[in-house]
């Protein structure tokens, strides 16, 4: 009889196993990228504590996420997007910045008041973005209103955020918390961060006059649709006291991830768009702005419904994210909602995914 | 260890069981009403639930969906607490083991149902891991079209979830496949949900219909298990659903799991209504045993004869005519599909008189090749002085011609047009002119020896009955030792031997593999129950003769479970004891 010992959970064998498997999966990725080009740049519109603002989003191409090199999170494929060699020098990063500004000039008349900067890892990790580059970026955008930089909580430090605050920018640190549940974050997402780390980082930000934005993951692998929705609602309420905005990211199936392996074998389905509606509708009373911009909505690898109503429901979600008006959901209806209700009722850890 | 589930009847890998809650549930069944989920451990830590004797509590678990890496399974597999109430443990093929539960739920069901070889492999692995007498449950997958396959493969419990989900999407399910609700112009079903016009039939009604149809199909499945005829039902159902047909073929093409669970005889007939039947374990096992164990002891010409609808063949009108002409001057060998080659000594032996086949006279190329090969090998092995094929033209003749090509033997054909017409019978008489008849003594001796070899292994007759007499008319022969002791009786229904205590003692004393059941220190009467069994030979099949031995008892009986099930089970009748004595 192979009866695993009950204290496996405490010993962290789960994380070792996840990391071992993820390293194997990631080793299959072969793509390499140009260190002088950002990964992606786009112009959009975002809901902020100051209302709707036009935004410039830049995903910088850096050395990549340290945690991903160890194995990393079960749903994250961004490690496949980093450059060879592990780090990108200051001049190359400035080149990337230049490309982003050029893109902005081409695509919008006015400079965007909101700047959002991401890397495939942590913007505040100085192995990815050195202090010199960080300050250069802060100076570059000093004339804007608000800047959001994404980082794991460990790298959040007062002096790093002050680089932006002193330029007069409303500064937000965006933290990929994924869930308020340490258990789910560790066992399903394989992220080493704890809720206490998040609270600590949020406190540091608050002390220097910056804000916190939390990124939460809807439906990590191994969870049922109903458990995922419950976890998201609870997480939003728990984050509300620390973060002025929560961005709900429905899991999408990225290449070279554990989620992709499960999906390929029929063991994972991204969340239903109805689940996103459910969360947004039932958290309107939360003490925080809740937004969601599902990646790949309506596609098989993204959050989706039956195929008939996806476009309409995705529009309602987008609309809600901009305006926060729950009545938008009253206007969408589809027969597949009954199927989703049955999935919510009957999907279990031993029969998922039910479709 | 299962306390609340018992297998009460077996039909190949399928089982009819009893889930003994406050109200007993007969399986295979829909278990929605009795399964209570105490929750998964991915989303929260959970206490050991309190449980209830009226339900099966699914213990806190981590389900591993299809595609979960082995390392992750190993690191996260939970341990299950010992509980005193009816319980279920969630497992995947890798963690299938004895966790002390009554029921085991396979977490990779979604990944294997719909995929023939993955399904076969998963069921085999899970059944090898969990104790034989525990219930196996697949959740979220059962439909009226696949549940006969699930039950046949050894699944005891399912739920109505898939049927409900399909209904919510407007899929109208039947045992012969599904229809889009929009495509139905009338409702082909008498269930209460369908008692309305098709225009008023909505998705809510479709859910009710699907669930009712699933339950009805399971009732049919349970009846079929009682009748020992589930394989025949599946043979029909699989015509409508490709993966179900593929799963059946895959299973019969890799028969290890099936062979262990297939009885050595059945009360019911095999209906040979498709070529797939040629791959059934009952058929292939007969062919294997004939090739490996049969020895022809008649030094006479062989007469190849067509089979007859009436069985045993010798009692049919046509074979009476053949026998009148042959007059014990030749060895009668009948050719049939799907059974193959049936020497006269084995005409009663299962499955030679337990099949029914649609008679058209046309043989498929597959039948001709398969049975032609078998006959060729038979003729090449058994060195007959002459071979007379009293076979009608068409498929039978093609089989003989194929066999002649394989065996490189000469054959005399005696049939003109039809085997029972005057001209054919005179040809047969002429062909046997001058041959000497064998004695009744030889006939009886050879029959008993052939059956003993077939039943107990190559050369078994000589070791088991070195010298014996036969009394009572065919097919109810009794085997007596030189001292007159009754050793065995031929059972006419199955053409097998039932041993007496004296016969069993000769078996144990002989240099033969004995199918043996070792019991604890008690004296059984009537039935031997599984909990009293310490060990059992792995090659015991349902229906086999088995010696029962313990410190205080010696007996002989017939197996009601396969050997591994006897060892693993904590409930149920293992051996139907015929004779026993206290030591």
Burial of A281: CB neighbours in 10 Å, binned 0-12, 13-18, 19+: middle
pTM for this entry: 0.94
Q: What percent of chain B has pLDDT over 90?
A: 97
pLDDT of residue A5: 40
Looking at the fold, whether B426 and B524 belong to one and the same domain comes out as: no
Which of B200, B193, B243 has the alpha carbon at shortest distance from B214? B193
CA angle B236, B237, B241 (to 5 degrees): 125
> What's the pLDDT tens digit per position in A149-183?
999 999 999 999 999 999 999 999 999 999 999 99
Residues B382 and B310 in one domain: yes
**CB within 8 Å: B79 and A342:** no
User: Residues B26, B123: one domain?
Assistant: yes
Residues from chain A that touch B65, judged by Cβ atoms under 8 A, are 221-222, 262, 265-268, 352-353
User: What range defines the domain where residue B85 resides?
Assistant: 5-164+213-253
The last residue of a domain, from among B398, B431, B464 = B431
pLDDT at B389: 98
Residue B204: closest CA among B190, B216, B192: B192
Clarify whether residues B398 and B543 are in a common domain: no
Exposed/middle/buried for residue B185 (C-beta within 10 Å: 0-12, 13-18, 19+): exposed
- Of B385, B414, B431, which marks where a domain is finished? B431
Tracing tokens 């918390």 back to the chain, one arrives at A177
| CB atoms B110 and A263 under 8 Å | no
Closest CA to B262 of B566, B553, B573, B561: B561
Secondary structure, 3-state, B252-290: HHCCHHHHHHCCCCCCCCEECCCHHHHHCHHHHHHHHHH
- Residues B412-427: what's their mean pLDDT? 96
Asked if B233 and B358 sit in the same domain, the reply is no
Q: Which contacts (CB < 8 Å, 24+ apart) does range A133-138 have?
A: A133/A90, A133/A93, A133/A94, A134/A160, A134/A163, A135/A163, A136/A90, A136/A94, A136/A97, A137/A97, A138/A163, A138/A164, A138/A166, A138/A167, A138/A169
ipTM field: 0.92
Taking CA atoms, B439 is separated from A187, A198, B299, B304, B447, in Å, by: 80, 97, 12, 21, 12
Please report the residues numbered 199 through 218 in chain B whose beta carbons come closer than 8 angstroms to any beta carbon of chain A.
203
Are B303 and B404 in a shared domain? yes
Please check whether residue B189 lies inside any domain of the structure.
no
- Asked if residue B341 is part of any domain, the answer here is yes
Total domains, chain B: 3
Which residues, listed in sequence order, are joined to residue B157 by a DSSP beta bridge? B29, B137
Tell me which chain A residues have a C-beta less than 8 angstroms from the C-beta of B78: 4, 6
Give Cβ neighbours of residue A5 (< 8 Å, ≥ 6 apart).
Answer: B79
Which candidate in A6, A350, A355 is best for mutational testing of the B interface (most B CBs within 10 A)? A350
Give the model confidence (pLDDT) of A176-211 as tens digits. Answer: 999 999 999 999 999 999 999 999 999 999 999 999
> Is residue B273 a part of any domain in this protein?
no
For chain B, what's the residue count? 583
Tell me how far apart the alpha carbons of residues B569 and B328 are, in angstroms, rounded to a whole number.
Answer: 50
Residue B84's CATH number = 3.20.20.105
Question: Of A286, A279, A270, which is closest to residue A353 (Cα–Cα)?
Answer: A270
Tokens 């409930």 sit on residue: B571
Strand-pair partners of B106: B91
Of all residues in chain B, the percent with pLDDT exceeding 70 is 100
**CA dihedral in degrees (B111, B114, B117, B120; nearest 10)?**
80
Tokens, residue A270: 């991204």
Q: Is the domain of B495 the same as that of B558? A: yes
The Cα diameter of chain B in Å comes to 89
CA B189 → CA B18, B148, B197, distances in Å?
A: 29, 19, 12
Identify the CATH number of the domain in which residue B532 sits: 2.30.130.10
| Nearest-CA distance B75 → chain A (Å) | 5
Residue where a domain terminates, one of B431, B448, B476: B431
Residue B274 lies in a domain: no
> Do B360 and B471 share a domain, yes or no?
no
User: Which member of A20, A342, A352 has the closest CB to residue B63?
Assistant: A352
Q: What is the mean pLDDT of residues B473-491?
A: 97
CATH of domain A18-346: 3.20.20.70
Buried b / exposed e along A90-111 (16+ C-beta atoms within 10 A): eebbbbbbeebbebbeeeeeee
pLDDT at B396 over 50: yes
Which residue in chain A has the smallest CA separation from B130?
Answer: A1
Q: Are residues B159 and B94 in the same domain?
A: yes
Least confident of A2-11, B205-214, B568-577: A2-11
The CA distance from B306 to B389, in Å, is: 9
Q: Residues B414, B511: one domain?
A: no
């Amino acid at each position: 009889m192979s009866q695993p010992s009950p204290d496996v959970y405490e010993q962290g064998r789960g994380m070792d196993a996840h990391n071992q498997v993820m390293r194997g999966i990631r080793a299959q990725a072969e793509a390499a990228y140009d260190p002088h080009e950002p990964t992606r740049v786009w112009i959009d519109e975002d809901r902020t504590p100051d209302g709707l603002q036009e935004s410039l989003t830049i995903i910088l191409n850096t050395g990549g996420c340290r945690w991903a090199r160890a194995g990393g999170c079960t749903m994250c494929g961004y490690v496949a997007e980093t450059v060879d060699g592990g780090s990108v020098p200051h001049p190359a990063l400035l080149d990337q910045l230049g490309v982003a500004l050029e893109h902005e000039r081409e695509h919008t008349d006015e400079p965007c008041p909101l700047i959002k900067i991401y890397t495939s890892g942590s913007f505040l990790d100085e192995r990815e973005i050195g202090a010199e580059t960080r300050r250069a970026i802060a100076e570059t955008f000093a004339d804007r209103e608000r800047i959001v930089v994404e980082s794991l909580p460990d790298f959040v430090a007062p002096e790093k955020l002050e680089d932006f605050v002193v330029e007069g920018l409303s500064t937000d640190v965006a933290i990929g918390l994924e869930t308020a549940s340490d258990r789910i974050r560790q066992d399903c997402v394989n992220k080493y961060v704890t809720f206490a780390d998040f609270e600590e980082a949020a406190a540091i930000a608050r002390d220097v006059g910056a804000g916190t934005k939390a990124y939460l993951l809807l439906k990590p692998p191994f969870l049922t649709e109903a458990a995922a929705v419950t976890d998201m609602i609870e997480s939003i309420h728990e984050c509300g006291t620390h973060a002025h905005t929560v961005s709900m990211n429905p899991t999408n199936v990225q290449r070279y991830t554990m989620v992709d392996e499960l999906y390929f074998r029929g063991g994972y389905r991204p969340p239903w768009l109805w689940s996103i509606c459910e969360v947004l509708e039932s958290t309107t009373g939360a003490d925080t702005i809740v937004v969601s911009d599902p990646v790949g909505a309506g596609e098989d690898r993204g959050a989706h419904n039956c195929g008939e109503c996806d476009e309409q429901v995705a529009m309602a979600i987008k609309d809600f994210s901009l305006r926060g008006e729950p009545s938008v959901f009253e206007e969408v209806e589809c027969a597949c909602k009954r199927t989703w209700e049955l999935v919510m009722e009957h999907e279990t850890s031993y029969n998922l995914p039910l479709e | 260890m299962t306390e609340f589930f018992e297998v009460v009847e077996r039909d190949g890998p399928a089982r009819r069981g009893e889930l003994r809650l406050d109200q007993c549930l007969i399986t295979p069944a829909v278990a929605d009403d009795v399964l209570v989920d105490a929750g998964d451990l991915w989303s929260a830590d959970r206490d050991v639930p309190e449980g209830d004797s009226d339900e099966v509590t699914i213990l806190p678990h981590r389900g591993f969906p299809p595609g979960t890496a082995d390392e992750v399974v190993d690191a996260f597999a939970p341990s299950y607490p010992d509980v005193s109430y009816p319980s279920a443990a969630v497992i995947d093929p890798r963690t299938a083991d004895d966790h002390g539960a009554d029921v085991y739920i396979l977490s990779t069901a979604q990944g294997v149902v719909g995929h023939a070889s993955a399904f076969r492999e998963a069921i085999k692995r899970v059944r090898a891991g969990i104790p034989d007498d525990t219930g196996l449950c697949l959740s979220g997958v059962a439909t009226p079209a696949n549940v006969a396959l699930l039950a046949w493969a050894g699944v005891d419990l399912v739920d109505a979830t898939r049927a409900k989900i399909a209904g919510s999407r407007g899929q109208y399910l039947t045992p012969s496949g599904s229809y889009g609700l929009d495509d139905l112009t009338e409702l082909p079903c008498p269930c209460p949900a369908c008692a309305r016009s098709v225009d008023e039939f909505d998705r809510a009604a479709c859910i009710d219909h699907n669930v009712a149809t699933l339950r009805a199909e399971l009732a049919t499945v349970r009846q079929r298990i009682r009748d020992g005829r589930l394989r025949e039902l599946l043979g029909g159902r699989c015509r409508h659903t490709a993966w179900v047909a593929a799963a059946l073929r895959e299973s019969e093409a890799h028969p290890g799991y099936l062979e262990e669970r297939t009885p050595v005889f059945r009360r019911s007939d095999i209906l040979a209504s498709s070529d797939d039947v040629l791959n059934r374990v009952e058929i292939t096992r007969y062919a294997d045993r004939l090739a490996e164990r049969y020895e022809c002891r008649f030094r006479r010409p062989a007469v190849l004869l067509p089979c007859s609808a009436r069985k045993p063949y010798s009692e049919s009108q046509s074979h009476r005519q053949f026998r009148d002409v042959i007059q014990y001057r030749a060895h009668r060998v009948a050719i049939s599909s799907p059974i193959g080659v049936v020497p006269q000594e084995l005409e009663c032996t299962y499955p030679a008189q337990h099949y029914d086949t649609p008679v058209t006279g046309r043989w498929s190329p597959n039948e001709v090749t398969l049975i032609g090969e078998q006959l060729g090998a038979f003729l090449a092995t058994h060195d007959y002085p002459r071979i007379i094929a009293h076979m009608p033209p068409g498929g039978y003749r093609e089989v003989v011609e194929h066999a002649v090509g394989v065996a490189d033997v000469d054959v005399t054909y005696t049939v003109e047009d039809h085997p029972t017409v005057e001209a054919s019978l005179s040809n047969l008489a002429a062909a046997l002119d001058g041959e000497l008849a064998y004695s009744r003594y030889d006939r009886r001796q050879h029959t008993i020896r052939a059956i003993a070899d077939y039943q107990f292994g190559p050369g078994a007759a000589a070791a088991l009955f070195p010298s014996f007499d036969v009394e009572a008319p065919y097919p109810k022969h009794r085997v007596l030792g030189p001292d007159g002791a009754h050793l065995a009786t031929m059972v006419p229904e199955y053409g097998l031997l039932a041993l007496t205590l004296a016969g069993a003692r000769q078996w144990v004393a002989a240099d033969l593999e004995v199918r043996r059941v070792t019991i604890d220190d008690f004296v059984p009467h009537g039935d031997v129950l599984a909990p009293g069994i310490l060990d059992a030979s792995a090659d015991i099949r349902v229906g086999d003769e088995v010696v029962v031995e313990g410190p205080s008892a010696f007996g002989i009986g017939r197996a009601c479970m396969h050997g591994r099930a006897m060892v693993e089970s904590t409930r149920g009748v293992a051996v139907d004891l015929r004779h026993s004595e206290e030591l």
